[in-house]
Structure 1
Amino acid sequence: MKPEDPTQSAMTEPTPTARELFEEALALPAARRAAYVTAHCADPVQRATVERLLAADAAELGHQLDRSFDDLLACVSELEPEPPIPLGERIGPFTLIEKLGEGGSSVVFRAEREQAGVRQTVALKLLRHGLYSEDERRRFRDERRALAQLRHPGIARLIEGGLTDAGTPYIALELIDGVPITEHVRALHLDLRNRLMLFVDVCRAVEAAHRALIVHRDLKPSNVLVTREGEAKLLDFGIAKLLDTGLDHDATRTQHQALTPAYAAPEQFQQGQITTATDVYALGMLLGELITGQRREHGDPRTPSSRISGTDPDALPAPPKTVRRQLYGDLDNIVLKATADEPERRYASAGALADDIERHLADQPVLAHPPSRWYRARKFVARHRGGVAAAMAFLLAILAGLGIALWQARRAEIQARRAEAVQAFLSDVFRANSSSQPDPVKARQTTARALLDLGAGKIDGAMADAPEVKLSLLRLFGGLYDDLSLYDESVRLRRQAVEITRELHGTNAPEVAAALVELAGSMAGSKSANEREPVLKEAVSILDRNGDFTSATRGSLLRKLSIYYQDTDVPRALDYDLQSVRVFEALPPSADLAESLGDLGWVQHHLGKPREAIASLQRAVEVSKAQQGAKNPELPRYYAYLSDAQYDALDIAGAERNARAALEGIEAINGDEPADTAYFMMRLGKLLASTARTRDGLALLKQARDRSLASKGADDPGQTLWAQFLYGEARARSGQLREGLTDMGTAIANCRREQPDVVFLATFLESEADAQMDSGRYQQATDTLDEAAQVRTRHKQAHGTSAFNANTATRARLELARGHVDTARALLDELRIEGDDAVSWMRFEQELLSAEIALADGHSESVAKLAAEVRQQIAGNGLAAYLKACAARADLVEGMTLLRARQAGAALPLLQRAVSLRQATFDPSSPKIAEAQVALANAFLDLGDTGKARALAAAASTIDAAQEELGEHYRRPLRELLARLRE
């Protein structure tokens, strides 16, 4: 129904509002709008507002029609703007980070909240009107609950909503990074078929909302975004209804529904009943724009195919002539049916519109086309092309009773050919080995790796006429390479497997998603690790399109997503692991469940939750044993992860037991294969080196480093990288500073080159800074810690949280070494200890640092108390054999405090024990041994035993001379001791 002509209008109706006048004038031809406004608007202020709105629309050549009335009003309003909301303000549980946009009825911010250590980013829409009556608040809460229950992968979900203390409603929505669907199809020059398939996804999302009795009421391109992965996401579902339930107290707007004129259905202009047909109309308008490259005007009777002339060719899915032919008929009728003025003439639902488009894509008759026998016959022939006669012959064969027998015979023939192809292929591999090894003995001694390489090299040119067989062999050989940790070789084969799977099953088949998941798994340990993201996102898109959210493939994909994010966003990785575990727990028990539990435990451990990690990993061990037996290749990994978690929980005996079980398990399965054993050697070596078994730990770490270099090469960004770093870190901490820094530097250079944006780079840098400090490179250590802090910040780890503890503690020790006691004390206050465990690594560090700062301040009572607590905790928890370094540090700081108090007799036994413990823990060249020897020598001097003092000074001087670089905090006390001895 069109607005009345101004020449026939009677002024007997109530005075229209600015919104009514704008929307009704907009529906008229441009030449008639001014006269209409003049005739219907007696108020000059109101008339000026409407004229500015129309002028704003004309100035943008109609693009403002994509926006709601409230947005346009905000653009031209002369009213004094509301005071800006400052960034950093808290709205409910959210903190405002950045303003993303604003309109007449709301302002949208990027906002964040943190719960249980997990940071969540949302789009927070803060409405401009308040809710003051209880009835309004209740209505808002009811609508919010209804919207929060709407769950669909194609709809940006409403996360939370609430009211501020001032009664202002806010809505937190999933933050979508995407572009409007019209911009997406234009930017990528999508062809017609792909545009229609993308539009079908939009319709399915709308259909899901309609089933939940929620109507959008403001569908338009800016509310349909397409992500970088090609997924359509609908925004603001149901928000229009929230805005329309009497929440706006502006008298000019309370009776109006939120709409965008260019896409609004006639009933919205006429204040009619809003139904699902309203959204169908907007979808029809959107479809017309997607396929023609231009928006259809209201009331335009032309078909889409007749409106191609004059369209920018870049906006079309094909050349104009081709598009006109493609649209003529079915698509013309579909758009016209969806945008019929009368709701009852439109499609009954968004799903029905999607079904008709899918029928068109499948060359089936569409409901929008007038029924006709000739039309249906033509569609049938189009579907089957030249195969109609062959189909008839096949039907006659079936009727004759021969069809099934022929099919079975053909299947048996195919299976026989496959078996022959596999047998011939494998025979050819062994014949090739024999021909390249004239000596029969040497031929029999060829390793499995050599045969594997030989076979893999022959797959490329083999079985061109049997792609299913070739695919099976590619997957088999890829898995064998994975078992040998030869991931680069596996990736090459799995890429081929993906392409063959596409050819066999189609681009969007679940089988393709499964092949992509396998490829991503192999890439994780390869030089292609940084290329996983598009592979994983394509797999997600395929499974979403197929409605698959509960299969084993989905569970495996979630686990691979967790592995991908473990290096960059650990909280996100945790969420994916929890989802993966839930998927596999709902399926029959399997090794997949054990793998998901294992990864979950690993992530929980790295989030500082060792108790939760231990529970998950113990269950992974149990499930793995039950499903695959006590001797399976995955079990050692779960033992190793369990060992790490137990180490962090200070169950050192349990950690060592499981680390050894992991190494013994892999050796029992794969023998002495370097690539397999090196990984588990390195983990056991790290544990031993850090718990007073330095010599044994360094020996294992060196073997692991050498084996990794031999089997994977120096540039390997996985195992070699870690083996090189852990060996260097252990050497530096043992006292081999120069050698340790060299090894760590090599690993860090590898990391910067191959994986420059992983969070564990911060861990590497913090250890490097610790060694730089001991070497006297104070400024370099500061710069290194700053770089590590930047890495952590980029990965959303905040200062003053437990994630920053290692950085903060190292920086505090550095400031103390430089004599900046006040700065060190301030940093000490930033350490965060989560949980209520009385004993933990970080609690020991905090107490010992506190004691060392108190020593520098001369607070002897605090030192004695803190040192005594550390010794008591170590002894009381059975850790004396493992935490010798901590105990020595406690003895040293208390002994030095007693020396300053001129109590050399009381200090002597503490300092003697400190020297003994450090000699048992560190390399003979360690400056920490010299540090304790200097303190003990001062005690002997105070007691008058110059001979023992000189002997200790000589030993400390030997260590000092052996270190090319050494921190002034080590060398200054030695110089002062030697000066005393010369007196």
Structure 2
Amino acid sequence: MTERQAVWAQAASLFDELAERTADERERIMARRTIPEPVRRWLDELLEAHDADRSMIIDRRVDDLARGLAGTGGTPGLEEMSGQQFGPWRARRMVGRGGMGVVLEGERADGRFDMRVAIKVLAPEAVGATAQALIEQEVRTLAGLEHPGIARLVDGGVRDDGVAWLAMEFVEGEPLDAWCDGHRPSLDMRLDLFRQVAEAVSHCHRALVAHGDIKPANVLVDEHGRARLLDFGIASRMADSAKDPGAGSAGRWCSPGYASPERLGGQAPSIPDDVFALGALLFRLLNGRGIRSAPEQTRLLSGREQVEAGDAAARSSKSGDADLDAVVDRALAPDPDERYRSVEALLDDLDRWSQGFPVIARRGGAAYRFGRWIGRHRSLATAGLLAAVALLSGTGLALWQADKARQAAELAERNAQSAQAAQARAESVNRFLLDLFEAEIPDLPPDRMPTTRQLVDRGIERARHPASGSPELRADLLLTLAGILIARKQLDEADGLIAEARGLVDFETHPELAIRLAMLDVDRNRERNRFEDMESSLERATALLERHDPQAIERLEMQRDLGRLYMRREQLDRAEAVLTEVQHAARQRDDADDLQLRLAGDLAVVAGRNGRPERAVERFEEVLRLKRAQSEPSPLSLATTLVNLAGLHARLGDYTRAEERYREVLALLEPFEDLPQGTRATSLTGLADLRRWQGRFDEAETLIVQSAEEWRRVLDLESVDEDFFIHYYLAELYGDAQRFKGAEERIETAIERMSTGQEAPPGRIAEARADLARYRCEAGRREAARQPLEQAREVLEAGESVSLAEAEAACADEPRGAGISQALIERARSGRGDLSRVARLELARAEQLAAGDPAAARGLVETSLARLDAVGAVADHPLLVRARALREKLRQDGG
């Protein structure tokens, strides 16, 4: 037994001995014992939670307690994970800790895009070697769970040091119970939150995933009152699979305040277990307390109390509404067979309650059903009573009223039958899923959870069999299974299942299936890069949603996907029209804040790529406003928008504003100095450009070196010399400073890096070779420039490439400006906007025009001088000296 295990064993033993004793008796007993400090610390916390019935304390610490009591050892080193890298993600700070490991706030490490994630680091000893082998397969499955109520799992893996990790969407919010205690929401609001959670769980079940650890701490409520489900039981499933089933360890990897009796007894997570946990969650929302007290939970954890089948049922819900209590009690039934057969069935019964229909859970008689009808139709019931009275006096109006009341009653009955049919279908789906989880799979030990592939294969086999249900149900199941296969990149097999579903039903008469099919077609075509077909699928999905479910947020998401598809195909005007329309619609909704932010960014990119930097600035300013309006805006997210704005300001010639934005980015990132940031590196490069354009070359070189070091950290390189970045930008700097030998050496190294390990596009390499030829010609080495110039010509198109035009001008006989057209100057101005390059082209063109069109030449010279003056160029800047000399020559030639 390890030292850590010994601590837990002693703490559990002492708690068992002291829990039911008085405070004085405890002190006397502990005074006679030698209790190590770690044991005493945990013992005091257990006893305090036990005495005060502080269930929330137990719930927060359950992972630590469970792991310790199970003897799985400690998690050394996990607390020091801040700053470390997990795949392409880098941790910033620890935000939580549990028995399975720690949770860290993280971000994308390579700077390719900005995304906040929660990185759950799983301790190697808690996960086990067998589970590590399954993690990538499980991650692929869970990453496909797309639902607005689910915090999406985006990545995961196992590092070389054996540490398993999961990266999930970062959610800002409060745990469900704390949010309710602080906001005191109405009953309707509590039930709405519960529905959001239950619908997310139902979505998981349809994807053949059981959550396994539903509790308030795993539901966060954001500032808009939306619930997000997180922390799936993947760790629990892996831990359970790695343990000895005889030890009953499975139950210890769940929360005793919300887990079902069978789960606490050692069974693996299942759909009935999730239904029970949802019932316990609803109990907490309605009654303000949990189904088990803190003393009961601590006794369960220490092994002093066995799980009784009826422990939860013995405390029926007392919310003040008999029907709601009946719903809760059925979900909490000790026997899984007596619970709701599915989450859909539970939600359906809640809907029946809210609409005034009899709830299935109560099983009331005729008087109960009549009372519920009266509650639904008070006005109609009153009208019926008045009609009967009026009938005695022979009033025709009374007969008409009585007939309307009868029709309303018949309609209500038909609605009830429809609801029962929906419940029957939901129970059929749940029975199908339960059969998959409960089925015996050859060569799979009974204590092991099946893999997703095994469940899918079993599901396909059963969905094909007529005994599984109606054709509609089987088609529904086949589409669900096809969606899982698409998410796992098994497209041909998914095609086959979709074809089978088409053969079972006429989709034109089942709009809900037609919508799902259209959305699956979008995913299939996206995965295959069939963008023409993807466009047709998006249009069909959008049209179906418009016709049958126009308020669905998915309709706007489909339209945004269509706009982004046009962006990808360089149909920028068309993309802007679609995205603008979606943005207008999103602004009319209360549930589209995230969508609005993404759309604003899309439209800013469109404007920038469409040659409208002013419009791009306006739209990025809108993105910035939306981000700053958030309750706790992410500094990293703000930095991404600001660095985009800074680049646009520089491109537009607003150099002062550009520098302010770059400085703001660096200030925002100061607290994250230990974490490499692509936005920081980009800001340093932007400031280096400004200093280079000003002719402050030493300062520019310092900033380039700093930026290169930051990119080294981002890319996890051994040395800045490994990357072409520092060589390419220093070559540019030395060329502007007319240090052509140094520029030649640096660009040669950059070409070598781009041609080997980093595999830059051929066009980029050719541009660098053109620059090499220019530096050699500027240094008077025209013969040495011949080969790189020819290599550049083989790839680049004459008249289109600014680099090639500059090289040919530098290497040509007089006049130097031959080949520099006004079109090339405009291309340079609208491209990267490099001031030095633009000024060089303008002056070369002016030199070419000096003899034939001196007025045009003077215009170009004055434009260059104004540009250099705006950036604050120093007096001895080579380009400024050249421009002034040319202006004087033109003045003298003009008399």
Normalising by structure 1, what TM-score?
Answer: 0.50
Deviation at 1:919, TM superposition (A): 10
1:192 paired residue number: 187
- Residue 806 of structure 2 is matched in structure 1 by 889
Counterpart position of 1:107: 102
- Give the 3-state SS of the residue equivalent to 1:99 in structure 2: strand
What's the counterpart of residue 177 of structure 2? 182
Letter paired with 1:584: E
1:60-92 Cα deviation digits (max 9, x unpaired): 944312224333579999979436444443334
Q: Does 1:584 align with 2:569?
A: no
- Output the CA distance in 2 between the equivalents of 1:377 and 1:48: 61
Are residues 1:123 and 2:118 paired? yes
User: Could you tell me which of 911, 922, 932 is aligned with 2:844?
Assistant: 932
| Structure 1 counterpart of 2:360 | 367
Cα distance change, pair 135–914 in 1 and its aligned pair in 2 (3 A): closer
- 1:290: Cα distance to partner? 1.3
Contact 2:358 2:368 in 1 (8 A): yes
- Quick one: structure 1 residues 85 and 54, their matched pair in 2 at CA, closer, same or farther if it must change by over 3 Å? closer
Highest CA radius of gyration, 1 or 2? 1
Shifted more, 719-728 versus 764-773: the winner is 719-728
CA change 1:548–1:124 in 2 (3 A) is: farther
The answer to whether the aligner puts 1:814 opposite 2:723 as a matched pair is no
CA distance in 2, matches of 1:37, 1:259: 35
Query: Structure 2 counterpart of 1:973, which letter?
Result: R
1:973 to 882, 886, 895: 882
Equivalent position to 1:908, from 814, 817, 821: 814
Q: What is the identity, as a one-letter code, of the residue corresponding to 2:103?
A: V
Task: Find the aligned partners of 1:817 and 1:870 in 2 and give their Cα distance.
Answer: 31
Secondary structure of the 1:245 match is helix
Q: 1:577 to 1:333 in 2, by over 3 A?
A: farther
Q: Which amino acid in structure 1 is aligned with residue 539 of structure 2?
A: F
Task: Answer whether contact 1:818 1:969 (CA < 8 A) is retained.
Answer: no
Residue range with higher mean Cα deviation, 862-871 or 575-584 = 575-584
> Gaps (5+ residues) in structure 2?
1-6, 294-310, 388-396, 408-509, 547-554, 579-600, 627-639, 705-727, 733-746, 830-837, 869-876
In the TM superposition, residue 192 of structure 1 has moved relative to its aligned partner by 0.9
SS in 1 for 2:253: coil
**For residue 348 of structure 2, what is the aligned residue in structure 1?**
355
Alpha carbons of structure 1 residues 549 and 67: separation in structure 2 relative to 1, 3 Å: farther
Displacement after TM superposition at 1:329 (Å): 1.9
Map Cα deviations across residues 870-921 of structure 1 (whole Å, 9 max, x no partner): 56656xx4x53x66x66653344335xxxxxxxxxxx325445559998999
Instruction: Give 2:173's aligned amino acid.
Output: G
Mapped to 2, the partners of 1:590 and 1:265 lie a distance apart of 39
The answer to whether the 8 Å contact 1:139/1:245 transfers is no
Counterpart of 1:242 (choices 237, 247, 258) is 237
In 1, Cα distance between equivalents of 2:63 and 2:602: 54
Amino acid in structure 2 at the alignment position of 1:893: A
Match of 1:338 among 331, 335, 344: 331
How far is the alpha carbon of 1:183 from its aligned partner?
Answer: 3.5
Distance change (3 Å), C-alpha of 1:274 and 1:637:
closer
**Alpha-carbon spacing, 1:603–1:42, altered in 2? closer, same or farther (3 Å):** farther
**Aligned twin of 2:709:** none
Counterpart of 1:798? 678
Where do residues 335-484 of structure 1 align in structure 2 (5 Å cutoff)?
A: 335-341=328-334, 343=336, 346-369=339-362, 371-388=364-381, 390=383
- AA aligned to 1:814 is W
Cα 1:35/1:134, change in 2 over 3 Å: same
Matches within 5 A, 1:220-239: 220-239=215-234
| 1:166 to 1:387, Cα distance in 2 relative to 1, 3 A | same
Q: Is the 8 A contact 2:769 2:788 kept in 1?
A: yes
C-alpha offsets along residues 793-842 of structure 1, whole Å, 9 cap, x if unaligned?
99x993699x9999599559627685889667437579999997644xx6
Shift in CA distance, 800/812, structure 1 to aligned 2, threshold 3 Å: farther
Q: Contact 2:817 / 2:848 at 8 angstroms: preserved in 1?
A: yes
RMSD: 6.6
**Quick one: which of 54, 57, 61 aligns to 2:46?**
54
Contact 1:130–1:248, Cα closer than 8 Å, also in 2 = no
**Cα pair distance change 1:150/1:30, threshold 3 Å:** farther
CA deviation string 1:531-577 (max 9, x = no partner): xxxxxxxxxxxxxxx9979749998xx99xxxxxxxxxxx9xx9999
Matched residue SS, 1:124: strand
Q: Secondary structure at the match of 1:357?
A: helix
Please show how residues 477-626 of structure 1 align to structure 2 within 5 Å. Answer: 551=515, 582-584=537-539, 599-604=563-568, 613=569, 617=571
* Separation in 1, partners of 2:283, 2:567: 48
Give identity over the alignment, percent: 22
Task: Report the Cα distance in structure 1 between the residues aligned to 2:144 and 2:759, rounded to whole angstroms.
Answer: 34
Q: Which residue of 1 aligns with 2:832?
A: none
Distance 2:650 2:130 in 1: 61
CA distance in 2, matches of 1:151, 1:594: 14
Partner residue, 1:517: none
CA deviation profile, 1:833-861 (whole Å, cap 9, x unmatched): 9997644xx66765555555556777655
Is the CA contact (8 Å cut-off) linking 2:111 and 2:679 kept in structure 1?
no
**1:769 aligns to 2:650 (yes or no):** yes
Residues 551 and 583, structure 1, Cα contact 8 Å, conserved in 2: no
In structure 1, what is the equivalent of residue 256 of structure 2?
261
Count of residues in Structure 1 that have an aligned counterpart in Structure 2: 639
CA 1:819–1:192 in structure 2 vs 1: closer, same or farther (change >3 Å)? closer
Structure 1 residue 383, shift from structure 2 partner? 1.1
- The structure 2 residue matched to 1:329, chosen from 304, 322, 325, is 322
Instruction: Please tell me the residue identity of whatever aligns with 2:360.
Output: L
**Within 2, Cα distance between the matches of 1:194 and 1:575?**
44
Structure 1 match to 2:159: 164
CA contact (8 A) 2:195 2:347 kept: yes
User: How far apart are the structure 1 equivalents of 2:325 and 2:558?
Assistant: 54
Q: Residue type of the partner of 1:826? A: L
The 1:105/1:250 distance shift into structure 2, 3 A limit, reads: farther
Q: Deviations over 1:79-110 (max 9, x none)?
A: 79436444443334544344332112211233
Secondary structure class of the residue paired with 2:102: strand
Partner deviation per Cα, 1:625-669 (whole Å, 9 max, x = no partner): xxxxxxxxxxx9449999xxxxxxxxxxxxxxxxxxxxxxxxxxx
* Cα pair 1:602 1:641 within 8 Å, conserved: no
Deviations 1:335-370 (A, max 9, x none): 344345555554444443323322221222223436
Q: Partner of 1:295: helix, strand, or coil? A: coil
Partner residue of 2:492? none
The offset of 1:378, in angstroms, is 0.9
What is the deviation of 1:223?
Answer: 1.0
CA drift of 1:928 comes to 5.5
Classify the secondary structure of the residue corresponding to 1:358.
helix
Partner deviation per Cα, 1:956-981 (whole Å, 9 max, x = no partner): 67865687745343331255679999
> Which whole-Å CA distance do the structure 2 matches of 1:578 and 1:969 have between them?
55
Residue 263 of structure 1 deviates from its aligned partner by 2.6
The amino acid that maps onto 1:890 is A
Asked whether the 8 Å contact 2:118–2:168 carries over to 1, the reply is: yes
Cα–Cα, structure 1 residues 862 and 851, in superposed 2: closer, same or farther, change >3 Å?
A: same
Letter in 1 for 2:563: D
Determine whether 1:70 maps to 2:57: no
Contact 2:149 2:197 in 1 (8 A): yes
Give the distance between the partners of 2:657 and 2:405, measured in 1 at CA: 84
d(CA) in 1 for partners of 2:21 and 2:84? 44
